[in-house]
Structure 1
Amino acid sequence: MAERLVTIATFNELTEAHILKGRLEAEGILCFLGDEHIVGVQPFYSVAVGGVKLKVTEGDVMEAKSILSRIQEGASEFDYDTIEMAPPMQEHPEARTCPNCGSDNVAEEKYNKTVFGLSYLLLGFPVPFMSRKYTCYNCRHTWKEKK
């Protein structure tokens, strides 16, 4: 037999309901939002429908209420030791430097701006023409990478 859903909190703001729903889900509690779409489309109907309802299963009511009370008190602690951290981001292995001034403040321009602009004016939509040019933001030098 399926467990019933019990409303443990109501919110006038949809974003607040989503934030607390996400926090409960992070703690491993299955929860749902009721009337979220009505309030999302017509925020002034929030009072008329009773707000956005945060619902959990009957078995999780006590745990969910204790987590919500800890959050409202500001004493909510999250166990950061159980979170798997993403591997550190690696720097670009092929960092480009400007051949003119040696700066690493360089960006790749993937599209030819002239063809892009003219096609937009003449055809009504831009045609991406691959260019592969590099521009130094320090000295404004542009160059193509030789393969």
Structure 2
Amino acid sequence: MLEYVCLATFTYTHEYLILKLEFEQAALRYYFQNETLIGLIPFSSLAFGGIKLMVHPSDRLIAKQIIDSLNDKSSNLRIV
């Protein structure tokens, strides 16, 4: 998993649930670093650098398009 790249960082798990669903539907290779740790101890998020979205390099462009579409102000589904 060393070749995976970080595309985004989140503070809490509820911030990316829609994004996770979109990635699963697109069959992208990804994982959230520190997801379990911060899920157990939420106030430690800043100490561990947040929850990092790690994406396989070959899926990076599609992942970036999905993130951008969810950040669009006209979208009903948005990343917090």
Q: Shorter-chain TM-score: which interval?
A: 0.7 to 0.9
> What's the CA shift for 1:72?
0.8
More helix by share: 2
- Structure 1 spans left out of the alignment, 5+ residues: 77-147
Deviation at 1:67, TM superposition (A): 1.1
> In the alignment, what sits opposite 1:101?
none
Q: Which runs of 4+ in 1 moved over 3 A?
A: none
Distance 1:75 1:46, change over 3 A: same
Looking at both structures, which has the greater relative contact order when contacts are Cα pairs under 8 Å and sequence separation is at least 6?
Answer: 2
**What does residue 40 of structure 1 align with?**
39
- For residues 28 and 9 of structure 1, the distance between their equivalents in structure 2, rounded to whole angstroms, comes to 18
2:70 maps to a residue whose letter is I
User: Which residue of structure 1 lines up, in the alignment, with residue 78 of structure 2?
Assistant: none
Paired residue total: 75
Point out where structure 2 has 5 or more consecutive residues left out of the alignment. Answer: 76-80
Distance 1:75 1:29, change over 3 A: farther
Q: What secondary structure sits across from 2:9 in the alignment?
A: strand
Deviations along 1:69-97, whole A, 9 cap, x unmatched?
01110556xxxxxxxxxxxxxxxxxxxxx
Q: Is 1:12–2:11 an aligned residue pair?
A: yes
The separation in 2 between residues aligned to 1:75 and 1:60, in whole angstroms, is 25
Identity %: 33
Cα offset, 1:3, TM superposition: 7.3
Larger Rg, first or second structure (1 or 2):
1
Contact (CA 8 Å) 1:39, 1:45: kept in 2 or not? yes
When normalised by structure 1's length, the TM-score is 0.46
